[in-house]
Amino acid sequence: MPEVKLVNVTKRYGEILANDHINLTIKDGEYVSVIGPSGCGKTTLIKSIAGIITPDEGEIYIGGKLVNNIPIEDRSIGYVFQNIALFPHMTVWNNITYGPTVKGMVPEETRALALEMLEMIKLGARSDAYPNELSGGTQQKTAVARALMSRAELLLLDEPLGALDVKVRAELRYELRRIVKDLGLTALHVTHDQEEAMSISDRVIVMKKGRIVEEGAPISLYTQPKNLFTANFVGEANFLTGVIIEMAEEGAVIEVGDGTRLMTTNKDRSVGERVVIAFRPEYATIEKKGGTNTFSGEIEDMLYSGSIVRLRVRLDNGELIVVKKALSLGKPAYSAGDEITVKVSPENLLVYPYPKEGLSKELALE
């Protein structure tokens, strides 16, 4: 029953609040990711749950039991480290049997479980190898197996794929999720890679400056982020500032820059309010001149990255937006210097009140 519950967990490093009254519940069997820029306090959070860091205030419960004063070794958790941390002086076999051995488990039982684990990570043939003889991906899989060997039902993953190559990282993501779900574990996964978090978890938590700013299912975080920081941090977004000039029946009408008016579906604002509009680059389409919900501008340059191309468009009102298109074979339809018209349909425009401290401060990662 490893439900994890944090109540007002706070940790200070001098002046800096690494965790500022964090309240969080991870349900039994749930795969939760914590994302946020470097220094947002996500590592402090996971280390507090493991007992590596002692919080200054607040309570941490694992399976309903208060664990604040319980040392690391008695919390019965599996912890996977970014730098892998397989014991360099032990073979794969000795590494994965370490947990059961120090816990005094019966050798026969340990042996059976270890064989099962090696089977799961498909490493049966290499159990005599030393960690430095294995590839990075295999090392990390071994580390996961080692963490699971102590029969922990709560798996804490601290940037587990951070030290690996891009390809290996993508492959291991699915493997991790498969293992966690197959064994019915509860998992907390910390990463700065939002794509990794989106593709692996049931629920994503976004942190900034020691606080949780938003949480939700990956899809809703992407399509309906509740605040500007999330909209910017999760995926890519364009931001335009404007003022509501009318509350129509369908939603607010917003004027951005030199008279361009955009229809939105947002209904809970009032006329005269200063707002920020956000939209994903892939929701913008390139249209013929004229039409509703369009702006015109000039393509400044085009950035190719594999399957997609990003057009950087300087709007007539001077602002810069990015439009994402799938890359097709043949002659490109546009080139730098072309005048184009960009359309975003009302339901794809997200509206936020203008932040008190200014837009750039709100979006800042540091």
Partner 1 sequence: MGLRTKSSNVISKLVVWTTLGAFIFFVLFPTFYLISYVFLRWPEVQLEVFENPIIGDENWRQILKVLSFSFRLSLSAVAFDLVFGIPLAYVLARKRFPGRSLLEDIVTLPLVIPTSGFGFATSITWTTVAGIGGWLGLGTGLVTNLNVVIPFLNVPIVLFIVHVALTFPYIVRTIETKFESIDTTFEIASRTLGASSLTTFRNILSPLSIPGIFSGAVLALARSLGETGASLIVSGVSSTASIAIVRWTSEFKLATAAFMGSLLVVIAWAIILPAELYVGRRGRGLRISYQLPISIYRKIMKFERFASRRLSRLKDGLPIVVVVLTVIVPIIVVLNSVIFYWSADPYTGKVQGGVVYQLFGPPNYFSILQQATVTSIIVALTSTYIAMCISIPLSFIIERKWYGEIIRTILKVPLIIPTSSLGLSVLLLWGSSGFNLVSPGIWLIILTHIVFSVPVIVESIIASYEGSNIQMYEESARTLGATAYNAIEAVSLPLIKGGILTGFILSFTRSLGETGATFIVMGRDITVPALVVNMVEALAIPAALFTSTYLIVLSLILLVIIRILTRR
Nearest of 182, 149, 186 to residue 31 by alpha carbon:
186
Nearer to partner 1, 27 or 103 (CB): 103
Give the interface segment with partner 1, choosing from 75-83, 118-126, 164-172, 181-189 (CB under 8 A). Answer: 75-83
CB 62 to partner 1: min, Å = 13
User: 102 exposed, middle or buried (CB, 10 Å; 0-12, 13-18, 19+)?
Assistant: exposed
* Degrees, nearest 5: CA angle 232-239-234: 15
Nearer to partner 1, 15 or 249 (CB): 15
Binding mask of the shown chain, residues 52 to 71, with x at each position contacting partner 1 by CB under 8 A: x------------------x
Q: Which of 57, 59, 73, 250 binds partner 1 (CB under 8 A)?
A: 73
Q: Which of 85, 253, 302, 322 binds partner 1 (CB under 8 A)?
A: 85
- Token pair listed for 86: 């397989």
CB 128 to partner 1: min, Å = 12
CA 237/CA 321 separation, integer angstroms: 9
CB 356 to partner 1: min, Å = 39
Binding mask of the shown chain, residues 108 to 147, with x at each position contacting partner 1 by CB under 8 A: ----------------------x---------------xx
**Distances from the Cα of 114 to the Cα of 96, 118, 120, 123, 298, angstroms:** 7, 6, 10, 11, 62
Tally of helices (H runs) and strands (E runs) in the chain: 10, 20
Nearer to partner 1, 98 or 354 (CB): 98
Query: Which residues ranging from 264 to 303 are in contact with partner 1 (CB under 8 A)?
Result: none
Establish if 356 lies at the interface with partner 1 (CB under 8 A): no
CA 16/CA 10 separation, integer angstroms: 11
Establish if 83 lies at the interface with partner 1 (CB under 8 A): yes
Alpha helices in 121-243 (DSSP H): 136-149, 166-182, 194-200, 218-223, 228-233
CA 46/CA 53 separation, integer angstroms: 9
> Both ends of the chain: CA-CA distance in Å?
37
Q: Which of 27, 65, 66, 103 binds partner 1 (CB under 8 A)?
A: 103
Establish if 164 lies at the interface with partner 1 (CB under 8 A): no
* Degrees, nearest 5: CA angle 269-274-275: 70
Q: Which of 2, 41, 55, 78 binds partner 1 (CB under 8 A)?
A: 78
Establish if 107 lies at the interface with partner 1 (CB under 8 A): yes
**Helix, strand, coil shares, percent, the chain, to 5:** 30, 35, 40
Q: Which of 14, 15, 38, 88 binds partner 1 (CB under 8 A)?
A: 88
Nearer to partner 1, 101 or 293 (CB): 101
CA 214/CA 230 separation, integer angstroms: 7
Q: Which of 1, 16, 72, 336 binds partner 1 (CB under 8 A)?
A: 72
Establish if 106 lies at the interface with partner 1 (CB under 8 A): yes
- At residue 260, φ and ψ (nearest 5 deg) are -70, 130
Q: Which of 99, 160, 210, 297 binds partner 1 (CB under 8 A)?
A: 99
- Token pair listed for 146: 């080692």
Q: Which of 31, 79, 233, 295 binds partner 1 (CB under 8 A)?
A: 79
Q: How many residues bind partner 1 (CB under 8 A)?
A: 32
Site for partner 1, rule CB under 8 A = 50-52, 71-79, 81, 83, 85, 87-90, 98-99, 101-104, 106-107, 130, 146-147, 149-150
